[in-house]
Amino acid sequence: MNIHAVVLGGGLAGMLAASALTGFADQVTIIERDRLPDGPLERRGIPQAGHTHVLIAGGAHAIDQLLPGTINTLIAHGAQRIGLPSRFLALASRGWLRRFDEAQFLISCSRALLDWVVREKVLRDKKIAVREGTEAIGLLGDAQRITGARLRDRDTGAIDHLNADLVIDATGNTSRAPRWLADLGLPAVTEEKIDPDIFYATRFYRAPEGARHNFPEINIASDPTVSPLLQAGVLLPIEDHRWIVTLVGPRSAKPPVDDEGFARFARDLRHPVIADLIAHAEPLTAPQQYRIPGNRRRHYERIKPWPTGFVVLGDAACTVNPVYGHGMAIAARGALALRSGLRHNGIHRGGPIIQRAVARQADLAWAMATSQDLRYPNTIGPRPGRLAGLRQAFLDRLSWAATGRPAVAAAQFDVYTLSASPLRLLAPRVLLGALLGPGRPALTEPPLTSEEWRICRG
């Protein structure tokens, strides 16, 4: 019997899902609304693609398990491996984090490069085909089993039915799966929304001479203990000797998109180092603004009975505030959970079990993003209770100790990069470090090297 799987959406989550399916299906068809570019180019279907993206270690390892060699290929094309915290300068609530030896890492590059490298690797598999310029408009089957998808050609408007043994929804945060499932008689999906109502403004720069190799990431975090406004900035080295600079602010104080306003907003952050650096760098683009959709989670795993033959993953199931850099890792780990679930349960019986496994991959990232966002009074969402406040006080204490203690910093980065469970923070050495504090005076200036300071001062 010929086994056919259909993936709705040809972005990162969809491509990784297609790769996960090849060990269990004879044919995999990706349905994509756009025309996919032939190279590392942005496309309309990913409006946030021109802004900062990072692939944290937990996501990088997942992608390499699905597509071995992907991270090395990205680095060969200029993507940067940012050691945490050796090449990561972060201003936390009580000072700058010191540059300890690398404990974890993240990969920084343009979203266009990442998507292209993954897409090229995935589409080498002859089992996988892409139908471009086609959108899903519904599901086939009934409340017990999904048997395919209803499609529409975006050029001609022609409607088509495509049968499948398994359908994956990877259509992103605009997914219409709640309506499709309701049309089949299934219960409404429970949805959580926690929205800090913030905006990005992003600009690309040519890195100055001397800053084109191994320059650190600069991350100026917002501090809810000092200001009720979530305002932050990041400077990230990426391929082609470029910097991508993203500024973040609330609706009431959006980062401007004119030259002077962008530079002024960067200078008004908790430290002016990003403003000093971009003052001596060549702008390559005008600033672009993007409304961050906030945190939204659709609990498909709670729908009972869940129909066989259908799985929702990536942003279609869980979108987290991209300020924290977890979105692509959730998609990658969800695809890995899909592969594991198919291996253990088969393509015809694994739907409900796989949906629960995919949901678990988002739990930690969701908790980290929403707990931080809810510290700001303008965030729209249910306020945390007393227990959450005690937990946050403990995390604040850890962050303070991490500025001076490598063991505490390493534990924090293990959890942040989704490389370890939160229980890692309860290790005796970490708890002792939190109790003792950083043991050193707070750094009020970023720990740049003398050469990096020279670049900063022009």
CA angle 196, 198, 199 (to 5 degrees): 160
pLDDT at 1 over 80: no
Q: Could you give the C-alpha distances from 85 to 82, 102, 129, 136, 427, in angstroms and in order?
A: 8, 6, 41, 43, 20
Q: Are residues 31 and 117 in the same domain?
A: yes
pLDDT tens for 422-448 read 999 999 999 999 999 999 999 999 999
Question: Percentage of the chain surpassing pLDDT 70?
Answer: 99
Measure the N-to-C terminal CA separation of the chain; round to a whole number of Å.
67
Q: Are residues 307 and 286 in the same domain?
A: no
Per-residue confidence (pLDDT) for residue 339, from 0 to 100: 97
Tokens of 451: 């050469």
d(Cα 31, Cα 132) in Å, to the nearest integer? Answer: 6
- DSSP 8-state assignment for residue 214: S
Per-residue confidence (pLDDT) for residue 51, from 0 to 100: 82
Overall average pLDDT of the 89-118 stretch: 96
Domain total of the chain: 3
**In a domain? residue 222:** yes
Closest residue by Cα to residue 421 from 368, 385, 375: 368
Containing domain of residue 232, as a range? 197-291
Q: Are residues 215 and 346 in the same domain?
A: no
Q: Which of 252, 268, 291 is the last residue of a domain?
A: 291
CATH code for the domain of 231: 3.30.9.90
**In a domain? residue 413:** yes
Tokens of 68: 């071995």
**In a domain? residue 86:** no
Cβ neighbors of 433 (< 8 A, separation 6 or more) are 401, 402, 405, 407, 408
Q: Could you give the C-alpha distances from 281 to 243, 245, 456, in angstroms and in order?
A: 9, 11, 10
pLDDT tens for 18-69 read 999 999 999 999 999 999 998 888 877 676 777 889 999 999 999 999 999 9
Cβ neighbors of 87 (< 8 A, separation 6 or more) are 99, 102, 214, 216, 217
Q: Are residues 258 and 325 in the same domain?
A: no
d(Cα 238, Cα 234) in Å, to the nearest integer? Answer: 12
Q: Which of 291, 324, 339 is the last residue of a domain?
A: 291
The DSSP element (H or E) to which 179 belongs, if any, is helix 177-183
Q: Are residues 303 and 345 in the same domain?
A: yes
Per-residue confidence (pLDDT) for residue 47, from 0 to 100: 63
Q: Are residues 178 and 303 in the same domain?
A: yes
Q: Are residues 131 and 172 in the same domain?
A: yes
d(Cα 345, Cα 335) in Å, to the nearest integer? Answer: 15
**In a domain? residue 402:** yes
Query: Residue 396's pLDDT band (boundaries 50, 70, 90)?
Result: very high
pLDDT tens for 244-273 read 999 999 999 999 999 999 999 999 999 999
Tokens 């570019």 sit on residue: 37
Q: Which of 237, 267, 291 is the last residue of a domain?
A: 291
Q: Are residues 340 and 323 in the same domain?
A: yes
pLDDT at 411 over 80: yes
Per-residue confidence (pLDDT) for residue 338, from 0 to 100: 97
**In a domain? residue 106:** no
Query: Residue 387's pLDDT band (boundaries 50, 70, 90)?
Result: confident
d(Cα 409, Cα 413) in Å, to the nearest integer? Answer: 6
pLDDT tens for 19-30 read 999 999 999 999
Q: Are residues 186 and 322 in the same domain?
A: yes
**In a domain? residue 58:** no
Q: Are residues 400 and 364 in the same domain?
A: no
Q: Could you give the C-alpha distances from 95 to 83, 222, 400, in angstroms and in order?
A: 19, 12, 8
Query: Residue 93's pLDDT band (boundaries 50, 70, 90)?
Result: confident
Per-residue confidence (pLDDT) for residue 389, from 0 to 100: 86
pLDDT at 173 over 70: yes
Q: Are 297 and 359 a contacting pair, CB within 8 Å?
A: no
pLDDT tens for 186-228 read 999 999 999 999 999 999 999 999 898 899 999 999 989 888 8
Q: Where would I find the H helices in 235-379?
A: 259-267, 273-278, 327-345, 351-360, 363-373
d(Cα 197, Cα 216) in Å, to the nearest integer? Answer: 29
**In a domain? residue 57:** no
Q: Are residues 158 and 300 in the same domain?
A: yes
Overall average pLDDT of the 125-151 stretch: 97
Per-residue confidence (pLDDT) for residue 182, from 0 to 100: 96
DSSP string, 250-292: EGGGPPP-SHHHHHHHHHTSSSSHHHHHHTTSEE-S--EEEE-
Q: Can you give the pTM of this predicted structure?
A: 0.95
Per-residue confidence (pLDDT) for residue 43, from 0 to 100: 76
CATH code for the domain of 146: 3.50.50.60
Q: Are residues 14 and 38 in the same domain?
A: yes
**In a domain? residue 151:** yes
